[in-house]
Amino acid sequence: MTREFDVIVVGELNVDLIFNQVNGFPEVGKEILSDHMTLTLGSSSAICASNLSSLGLKVAFIGKIGNDIFGQFVIDKLNRSGVDTSMLMIDENLKTGATVALSYGEDRAMITHQGAMSHLGLDDIDEGQLLRGKHLHFSSYFFQPGFKNNVHRLFEMAKNVGITTSLDVQWDPAETWELNLNQVLPFVDVFIPNEVELKKLTGLPNVNRAIESIKNISRFVVVKCGSSGSVMYYDNKEVRLNPFVNKEVVDTIGAGDSFNAGFISKFIKGATPEECQEFGNLIGAISTTQAGGTGAFKNLEGIMEIARNRFNYQE
């Protein structure tokens, strides 16, 4: 069967209003200043989809937005990066989600209005849609209550139609971390949390013990460790790779999502796991050279030029 898309991304959609070089932290009743501001495509899922497309893959998105200015902004940004938006659902009664992010070096503080993203659920997706792709990526489980306690059925559906899968759960705003990994991960080929999320999800105090607790459930457990690089476990093998270091970080928003795009782009092309991991590290680092997670990703030629010139990467 001919698959129309390399990757189908299912997830949340919102815009990001990012403040960089913030002079302190806001307090109630007071006002502070930011030297730079960017309005850009937000959400883990959308950043990953956009960057996958910029890396040369055919990508489609399944998500829900409102019929408003932010929703049109999301569509325009996705279309401009080459992402197919024909499966987006526009709800007249809902608002498109929005996040205000304060960026502080390698960390950030955020506030999000979920809007339409919290109304996307399993009933909005069918096997016919998934049959159009070779790979399913899902992100931000805790921002999408429509998938609570049944997201495993989405991945099971994907496996039933013969496609590979990946999952990045992202942060839990409620900090309850209620996700049954033993139920979900058997249907996930590539599980890609960061180290903090993995420890929270497993309730274990360090990355090694956390990986040990789930290492034989997914085919690949890939843990993003920020400025320490990444660690991957598969086939009873552990692989630790150092990061590509950017000494002039603009912001780290979307760096993890960019790592996902890098890893997945190589994974579905049949690269070795180590090549996938290295490319994930590279694309995550390239993300930090511009604001917002997508700013550095115009097209594959431009991305690889940054890789060679800024990170001495040789293909």
- pLDDT, tens digit, 9 for 90 and up, residues 204-228: 999 999 999 998 899 999 999 999 9
- pLDDT, tens digit, 9 for 90 and up, residues 266-280: 999 999 999 999 999
What is the percent of the chain with per-residue pLDDT over 90, rounded to a whole number?
83
- Lookup: tokens for 264: 């997945």
Give the chain's domains with CATH numbers: 7-13+44-96+116-311 (3.40.1190.20)
**In the prediction, which pLDDT does 268 show?**
96
Higher per-residue confidence, 56 vs 250: 56
Q: What are φ and ψ of residue 185, in 5° steps? A: -65, -25
In whole angstroms, what is the distance from residue 7 CA to residue 136 CA? 6
- Lookup: tokens for 138: 């899902």
Provide the pairing of β-strand 64-66 with 230-234: unpaired
**In the prediction, which pLDDT does 293 show?**
87
- pLDDT, tens digit, 9 for 90 and up, residues 51-103: 999 999 999 999 999 999 999 999 999 999 999 999 999 999 999 999 998 88
Does 18 have pLDDT greater than 90?
A: no
Mean pLDDT, residues 136-163 taken together? 97
Query: Which residue's entry shows tokens 């270091």?
Result: 245
Report the candidate in 126, 115, 129 with the shortest Cα–Cα distance to residue 86: 129
- Average pLDDT over all residues of the chain: 94
Mean pLDDT, residues 195-199 taken together? 97
pTM of the predicted structure, to 2 decimals: 0.92
**In the prediction, which pLDDT does 69 show?**
97
Mean pLDDT, residues 102-130 taken together? 90
Does 1 have pLDDT greater than 70?
A: no
Which range has the worst mean pLDDT, 45-49, 99-103, 173-177?
Answer: 99-103
Give the confidence band of 250 by pLDDT, cuts at 50, 70, 90. Answer: confident
Question: 167 - beta bridge partners?
Answer: 138, 191
Q: What is the DSSP letter of 73?
A: H
Provide the pairing of β-strand 59-62 with 220-224: unpaired
